[in-house]
Amino acid sequence: MSNAPVVLVTGGSRGIGAAVCRLAARQGWRVAVNYASSRQAAEAVVATITEAGGEAMAIQGDVGTAADIAAMFAAVDRHFGRLDGLVNNAGIVDYPQRVDEMSMERIERMLRVNVTGSILCAGEAVRRMSSRHNGRGGAIVNVSSMAAILGSATQYVDYAASKAAIDTFTIGLAREVAAEGIRVNAVRPGIIETDLHASGGLPDRAREMAPSVPMQRPGTAEEVADAILYLLSPSASYVTGAILNVSGGR
């Protein structure tokens, strides 16, 4: 059995997460592909990896649910027996609303999936990777957003606030575990062509916003995956607490 390093990618079934899974496998990682409901898409990512000679496994679990998170990490333990990387990628937006229209339910769901889920997943990863817990070290990459800087007025300020929380969480956790063999970094994607925009009711958002991007185009999931894989890799051995904009200058 291979003893190649193992990375868990939350929301690995589609978009940026799927691109991370495919690139990680090409770079020698064994990959745990988490998904919430898109089983077929997750299994397609696993098939692409295994057909190319890599090793991957799809794991269902809603990162907005503590029990699902615990079960997901237990499945990684059983199947792979080690964990070296975590990509906290799963995230949601919602329909455009002003703050004075938002319900408690909407805001709580946004924060539960984007923030609480990421923090709980990182905690599970630290329990497995930290030298304090007899782990061999590892790397965590959180997926933030340029929204954390720009604020997303009239679209989803709650989403932007959730990503600002991810930025601060990245800095704090990086310092908390820096001496325990774990690096923690984040990327801030800009406008990336994925299904995310359609899930917020704006399927043409990436194309429509292209003129507002200094590089005049949306980015691809693969371009974000490249940055994430760099931060996961030993090439970033002295990089922790960093937040890398992948936004075409936006």
Residue 135 or 187: the one with the smaller Cβ distance to ligand NAP is 187
State the minimum distance, in angstroms, from the CB of residue 70 to ligand NAP.
14
Q: In Å, how far are 159, 160, 170, 203, 226 from 108, measured between CA atoms? A: 11, 14, 21, 24, 31
CB of 17 to ligand NAP, least distance (A): 5
Whether 95 is catalytic is: no
Please compute, for residue 237, the number of CA atoms within 13 A of its CA located in the half-sphere on the CB side: 2
Helix, strand, coil % in the chain, rounded to nearest 5: 50, 15, 35
Nearer to ligand NAP, 17 or 54 (CB): 17
Least Å distance, CB 32 to ligand NAP, is 12
Give SS3 for 74: helix
| Closest-CA residue to 184 (of 141, 155, 238) | 141
Q: Which of 88/240 has CB closer to ligand NAP?
A: 88
Nearer to ligand NAP, 120 or 130 (CB): 120
Write down the least CB distance from residue 63 to ligand NAP, Å. Answer: 4
For residues 97 and 158, give the distance between their C-alpha atoms in angstroms, rounded to a whole number.
Answer: 9
Q: Which residue ranges make up the site for ligand NAP (CB under 6 A)?
A: 10-11, 13-17, 34-38, 41, 62-64, 89-92, 113, 143, 145, 189, 191-192, 194-196, 199
Amino acid (1-letter code) at residue 48: T
Q: In the Cβ-directed half-sphere of 73, how many Cα atoms lie within 13 Å?
A: 23
Among the listed residues 156, 159, 230, 238, the single catalytic one is 159
Nearer to ligand NAP, 135 or 189 (CB): 189
Q: Beta strands of 56-203 (E only): which ranges?
A: 56-60, 85-88, 138-143, 182-189
Q: How far is the CB of 197 from ligand NAP (least distance, A)?
A: 7
Q: What's the rounded Cα separation, in Å, for the pair 35 and 49?
A: 16
Provide the annotated active-site residues. 159
